[in-house]
Amino acid sequence: MVSKSRWKLLAMLALVLVVMVWYSISREDSFYFPIPEKKEPCLQGEAESKASKLFGNYSRDQPIFLRLEDYFWVKTPSAYELPYGTKGSEDLLLRVLAITSSSIPKNIQSLRCRRCVVVGNGHRLRNSSLGDAINKYDVVIRLNNAPVAGYEGDVGSKTTMRLFYPESAHFDPKVENNPDTLLVLVAFKAMDFHWIETILSDKKRIRILNPFFMEIAADKLLSLPMQQPRKIKQKPTTGLLAITLALHLCDLVHIAGFGYPDAYNKKQTIHYYEQITLKSMAGSGHNVSQEALAIKRMLEMGAIKNLTSF
């Protein structure tokens, strides 16, 4: 027979154990009982089903990056010229695709469920301390010249893809030089292909984004006219384009650093890394209030989740 005092001792020990487990789990840096890294639950195909509701009649068969085989023997017909299609640029593309790659890296390809985060360049990331959370995603998509060095605590240090175009390609290659980062060209005009042909030095890391995503963002998210006058007056921002791409590539899509100040807020800086205001964007061909509505719609229907405020 176990005596009453023994039972009491056992009960006390059990209580201490429960408190230790609770304390350990509630701390991020669990030291009594190491717990597996906390990751967002990921449902395979979730972003795909939300995207088809959002975009309607929408083909998931499109490749993310342009492929040589689609221009080599049979020239894939495209309804639009750049930036919504490749009509008229086929021969130039053939030359560029012959010296670049179109594959998705094996470590992303092989994932059963792809957790992605699109990091916008917005000021809301400043002092957000989101760095560790951002680094936990399988795919981190960054935009233009947004720096990582010096801002790791707020924006993380992992970069799986950087979407850029010639005018935005002024990130410091000595600092932002992670060899695992794909450099994804967003082509807006034929000159962009000439440019990339000239500057290519590390061919293996360059990809050319399928203009299909620009078309979908412009048409389905912003309802912009698809008929092309000589000059396109309005187009999606690179951030909205990246969200559209992520909904195609990933199973889970989160965003951070999106949202511009109100138009009357003339002093508020727009970026987390420099002091420019909304004024600098005048004439850049983006309708940020229309984009805010599109992002709100996607948040409301649960297609994306926001890590910062909006």
Element (DSSP H or E) covering residue 7 = helix 4-26
Rounded CA separation 144/141 (Å): 10
Helices and strands (DSSP H and E) totals, the chain: 10, 7
| Closer CB to ligand LG5KNAUE, 151 or 188, in the complex | 188
Q: Is there binding between residue 158 and ligand NCC (CB under 6 A)?
A: no
Stretch near ligand LG5KNAUE under the rule CB under 6 A, chosen from 70-78, 214-222, 280-288, 295-303: 280-288
Binding-residue total with ligand LG5KNAUE (CB under 6 A):
11
Binding mask 265-284 for ligand NCC (x = CB under 6 A): -----xx--------xx--x
Tokens read off for 305? 């989740």
Q: What is the DSSP letter of 101?
A: -
3-state secondary structure of 115: strand
Among 83, 122, 147, 156, binds ligand NCC (CB under 6 A): 122
Nearest-CA neighbor of 156 among 4, 308, 1, 310?
Answer: 308
Q: Is there binding between residue 100 and ligand LG5KNAUE (CB under 6 A)?
A: no
CB of 294 to ligand NCC, least distance (A): 10
Q: Is there binding between residue 145 and ligand LG5KNAUE (CB under 6 A)?
A: no
Q: Is there binding between residue 308 and ligand NCC (CB under 6 A)?
A: no
Q: Is there binding between residue 168 and ligand NCC (CB under 6 A)?
A: yes
Rounded CA separation 218/81 (Å): 14
CB of 44 to ligand LG5KNAUE, least distance (A): 32
Q: Is there binding between residue 165 and ligand LG5KNAUE (CB under 6 A)?
A: yes
Contact in structure between 268 and 261 (CB atoms under 8 Å): yes
Q: What are the angstrom distances between the C-alpha of 187 and each of 83, 110, 190, 207, 210?
A: 6, 28, 8, 11, 9
CB of 51 to ligand LG5KNAUE, least distance (A): 21
Q: Is there binding between residue 167 and ligand LG5KNAUE (CB under 6 A)?
A: yes
Nearest-CA neighbor of 146 among 131, 133, 162, 160?
Answer: 162
Strands of the sheet with 252-256, listed across from one edge: 206-208, 182-185, 161-164, 139-143, 115-119, 252-256, 305-306
Q: Is there binding between residue 244 and ligand NCC (CB under 6 A)?
A: no
Q: What are the angstrom distances between the C-alpha of 247 and each of 37, 80, 168, 236, 297?
A: 24, 22, 23, 16, 14
CB of 80 to ligand LG5KNAUE, least distance (A): 14
Q: Is there binding between residue 89 and ligand LG5KNAUE (CB under 6 A)?
A: no
Q: Where does this chain bind ligand NCC (CB under 6 A)?
A: 120-123, 143-145, 167-168, 237-240, 258-260, 270-271, 280-281, 284, 286
Q: Where does this chain bind ligand LG5KNAUE (CB under 6 A)?
A: 165, 167, 188-189, 231, 235, 237-238, 283-285
